[in-house]
A = this chain, B = another copy of it.
């Protein structure tokens, strides 16, 4: 339990500025998805910005609160506050255009999911969690923002229905955790885990893979 040595998002120190950029891209794309939901729900500018921030940062906040890494790293770094705000403002103005770039948004969303699940899992390991909970925290980091977005927007989280979303995140986090436990360097584990998540997620979108549904009618 290292509380004193507050760590920045895992990507930052271990793999340099490329990963920081990817992290911020992930936050931006998640923020755009939140802002688009807000526009569809006819929320005002403030609602758009809050849903953008909650979706972009919510998964990381949830992870940080659960593993005791408070205050969340994003509150220490102005870039992590600027990016979702800017993404929300851009979406507020250009939402018709962004709403039409569905394939691009889906791709970046998958990329954000891939990076978040790996970064989240590695940070949880860094705070002393065992492998299985760390992988679950990785998945939580990836899907938490979208769940928060949907709860705030008054709808059942889409991650609970439809296309495979959480499973690729759990798989990517699992690969990163296993690589870490085997002593593989962080870069390899990060790239490997993120690739598994990204490819799986994109295949799920393209081929319409879905999670199994309960069979038979629900009683009562």
Contact = CB atoms under 8 A, between A and B. Distances in A.
A218 to B, nearest CB: 4
A183 interface: no
Those 6 A-B pairs whose CB atoms lie nearest each other, nearest first: A47-B160, A99-B219, A68-B70, A44-B211, A75-B133, A154-B156
Interface string A135-164: 011000000000100011111110111101
Nearest to A65: B65
A83 to B, nearest CB: 13
Given A45-B211, A211-B44, A219 B95 contact: yes
Given A1-B4, A51-B160, A66-B72, 4 more contacts: A3-B3, A65-B65, A99-B219, A154-B155
Nearest to A91: B214
A96 B216 CA distance: 8
B40 A220 contact: yes
Contact of A71 (B61, B68, B213, B219): B68
Interface of A: 1, 3-4, 6, 36, 38-48, 50-51, 61, 65-68, 70-72, 75-76, 78, 81, 92, 95-96, 99-100, 127-130, 132-133, 136-137, 147, 151-157, 159-162, 164-167, 210-214, 216-220
B46 A166 contact: yes
Contacts of A166: 46, 50
Contact of A3 (B1, B66, B130): B1
Contacts of A99: 218-220
